[in-house]
Homo-oligomer: A and B are copies of this chain.
């Protein structure tokens, strides 16, 4: 058991190296262990490239016959952009496969587990399941809820203002907080803002870290509203979309295979997500300032009638950036 945990943790660490590049695939790492020693490891580098299991087999420094394969997710069972991993595993004469959790994608769910058992391989499922689900929380939500994982992010004064009454919002939070906030974009397949945010702030919406992939920029609005010299129009990595309601929007994004979206504003767009209660994760950044003003910008929408009906976050954590701080939680 202790060695299983050790090797599965290794798969989780390997998996993370694919962050942002694997979307809409999950992040997966695999190690092959023989006589207590890792003889091969791999991770899924990027959508379209070999899966972690195949990488580990290809990288094995000796025969995988009678070895154990550790992997953080159930191997795939169907032809996608690459052939099914389960076939390669069985052909490799690996003796046992240990994975944290079943694949939530209905195309794969439980199928490889059944195939492995039929082929008389030993199997183990469930160790570090919580950690494995957390790592791929966007992927699990996408398949289990049939919609993209929705995170919202905002930066506010202590009195919850996202901008002053004149629309000034540059910058509420300090540089460390802003750099961290930008880095979060790397964890999502797409970022989304309402068109008013483009008009007011002309944001870049990029990760701006060398070697990191920018997410798809989704603008809620119509193309004719957006000035052609806006920063978001700098390349083709953009989707301009209008929708009557948030569920319609998310259905459209699901059809496009977008498993996760980070909604960054503005106040009304965030309010619409809040009104529909379709938020999975919240990143709330605060600076120790007071702005005030009845007409200053804060999260809008209709709002809840009562405190009881407010959205309550769980697993709340606090992170400090000098005198700024971030509250993160799940719904």
- Which residues on A are within 8 Å of B, measured CB to CB? 154, 156-161, 164-166, 168-172, 268, 270-271, 274-275, 279, 282, 284, 286, 288-296, 298-307, 310-314, 316, 318, 320, 323, 325, 327, 329
Contacts and interface: CB of A to CB of B under 8 A. Distances in A.
Considering residues A172, A294, A307, A311, which has the most beta carbons from chain B within 10 angstroms of its beta carbon?
A: A307
Contacts of A329: 288, 323
Nearest to A163: B307
B307 A171 contact: yes
Nearest to A310: B289
A203 to B, nearest CB: 16
A292 B288 contact: no
A248 to B, nearest CB: 20
A19 B329 CA distance: 38
Contacts of A305: 164-166, 168
Work out how many copies of this chain go into the complex.
2
A110 B329 CA distance: 54
B293 A313 contact: no
A290 B310 contact: yes
Nearest to A165: B303
22 contacts: A157-B310, A159-B160, A160-B160, A164-B303, A164-B310, A166-B305, A168-B305, A168-B307, A172-B307, A271-B292, A271-B293, A279-B290, A288-B312, A288-B313, A288-B327, A290-B311, A290-B313, A293-B303, A296-B303, A318-B318, A323-B329, A325-B327
A69 to B, nearest CB: 39
Considering residues A156, A171, A316, which has the most beta carbons from chain B within 10 angstroms of its beta carbon?
A: A316
Contacts of A161: 160, 298, 303
Nearest to A154: B159
A214 B323 CA distance: 33
A296 B296 CA distance: 12
B284 A292 contact: no
